Amino acid sequence: MAAVPISLASGYGNFAVPPVALEAAAQALANVQQHKAPLAVSPAAGLPELREALAQRYQQRGATTITAEQVVVTTGAKTGLFALLSEMLRPGDDVLMPTPNWFGFQELVHRAGGTLRPLPLAAATNYELLPETLRTELKPNTRLLLLSNPNNPTGRVYSRAEWAELLAVTQDFPDLWVLSDEIYEGISFGPKPVPTLLALPDPHQRHVVVSGFSKSLALAGWGVGHLVAPVALAEAVTARIFATGAAVPVPVQAAALAATQQAEAISRLLCEQLKLTRQILLDGLSSLPDAPAVIMPEGTYYVFADFTRWLSPELPAAAASAQLVQQLGAAGVEVVDGATCGAPGFVRLSYAVPEADLREALVRMQGVLAQPVA
């Protein structure tokens, strides 16, 4: 009988919904029931109180000039990303993205009319992006520099000092947008909080952040995200949402508001919950044959593990990577193929799973990886 699959591939954690969020959503629905009234419809950009609370949180993180008018509440972070990209990009625009990075960006950029160009970074240097490398890679038709911080899948966090060095380059390109995906900002184990792009100087008003509530605030399944952009761009995105979609339902925004107001406490609890499984996964990987030194990921709830030593030398790298992932899947462990993120032979492993499942997954992986490479 085949083993029940264990997924280390999911982008969602095994987190309980924060009680404050549940209570806020329930209260919004109770008010409707009590008054026998229709459910209110939110403005397309989101409830003013939620937009204000988000702006205040960015101000607390050092982005002191951010206002509620720059915040747009969206039906999930992907919806916000696509709306932004659709407003930013012109047909054929070049989008430069350091990789490894989230596999979903490729399709979003393509559907918005852009052309995604990867900028491969090396695991050996902990995915460092040097300013001189960035300057060399920026082309006259590069419209957007796209990063994620913390990075999915690597867990790499770019510090404020690193951001400042990169932005010293981008400021020489006044038509270049810089977009930071910060959806994992609350899942961080480093000595300092994850910096937001919005807290750094933006002389050309070209910095944009996309985030959401499903990762750092445990509202997976609620379908709510947000973005922060210069006012004109935020208004254009709002107009697009009004014309093509719908606002986030009011009870969901009530939950998001409560979570925003308790963001630090919620994220702190999630990180505490993750510490045990994080160490279990790191220890398990270090015990594998010929394990390379693992740089502990500072953010997210993933480890991007180097399994290149198990790739078949008879196949091209991408095909060999897919074969390895299939072998792990046949043993009952689902993982994300690093080739989809720009790094064949690596696998993204989530540790936001129950401890027992993680331990069993490591046993199953050990069984597959103990076999000689075909």
User: What digits encode the pLDDT tens for the residues 258-276?
Assistant: 999 999 999 999 999 999 9
User: What's the pLDDT at 180?
Assistant: 98
Q: 300 and 155 in contact (C-beta within 8 Å)?
A: yes
User: What's the pLDDT at 2?
Assistant: 62
Which string of b and e fits 232-243 if b means at least 16 CB within 10 Å? ebbbbbbebbee
Residue 362, pLDDT above cutoff 80: yes
Q: Which of 122, 132, 199, 142 is nearest to 166 (CA)?
A: 132
User: What's the pLDDT at 269?
Assistant: 98
For the chain, where are the alpha helices, taking DSSP H only?
19-35, 48-60, 77-88, 104-111, 131-137, 160-170, 231-244, 250-261, 263-286, 317-330, 355-369
Q: Write the pLDDT tens digit of every residue in 73-94.
A: 999 999 999 999 999 999 999 9
Instruction: Assign 1 a pLDDT band (cuts: 50, 70, 90).
Output: low
Sort strands 142-148 and 94-99 into parallel, antiparallel or unpaired: parallel
Furthest CA-CA distance within the chain: 69
CA 98/CA 125 separation, integer angstroms: 14
Residue 166, pLDDT above cutoff 80: yes
Range scoring the smallest mean pLDDT among 185-194, 215-224, 242-251, 286-295: 286-295
Residue 5, pLDDT above cutoff 90: yes
What is the pLDDT averaged over residues 106-116?
A: 97
What tokens were used for 275?
A: 């510490």
Is the Cα dihedral 162, 164, 169, 173 positive or negative?
Answer: positive
- What mean pLDDT value characterizes the chain? 96
SS3 97: strand
Residue 170, pLDDT above cutoff 80: yes
Q: 183 and 267 in contact (C-beta within 8 Å)?
A: no
What tokens were used for 87?
A: 């407003």
Residue 278, pLDDT above cutoff 70: yes
CA 40/CA 55 separation, integer angstroms: 23
Going across the sheet that includes 207-212, the strands are: 71-74, 225-228, 207-212, 177-181, 142-148, 94-99, 115-120
User: What's the pLDDT at 373?
Assistant: 72
Residue 252, pLDDT above cutoff 90: yes
CA 269/CA 199 separation, integer angstroms: 25
CA 219/CA 255 separation, integer angstroms: 9
SS3 370: coil
What is the pLDDT averaged over residues 114-131?
A: 97
Share of the chain above pLDDT 90, in %: 96
Share of the chain above pLDDT 70, in %: 99
CA-to-CA separations, 2 to 5, 65, 200, in angstroms, rounded: 8, 57, 52
Instruction: Assign 371 a pLDDT band (cuts: 50, 70, 90).
Output: confident
State the number of CA atoms in the 13 A half-sphere of 358 facing the CB.
24
Instruction: Assign 374 a pLDDT band (cuts: 50, 70, 90).
Output: low
Q: Write the pLDDT tens digit of every residue in 300-319.
A: 999 999 999 999 999 999 99
Range scoring the smallest mean pLDDT among 58-67, 75-84, 253-262, 288-297: 288-297
Reported pTM? 0.96
Sort strands 225-228 and 336-337 into parallel, antiparallel or unpaired: unpaired
Sort strands 333-334 and 6-7 into parallel, antiparallel or unpaired: parallel
Q: Which of 77, 71, 129, 72 is nearest to 100 (CA)?
A: 129
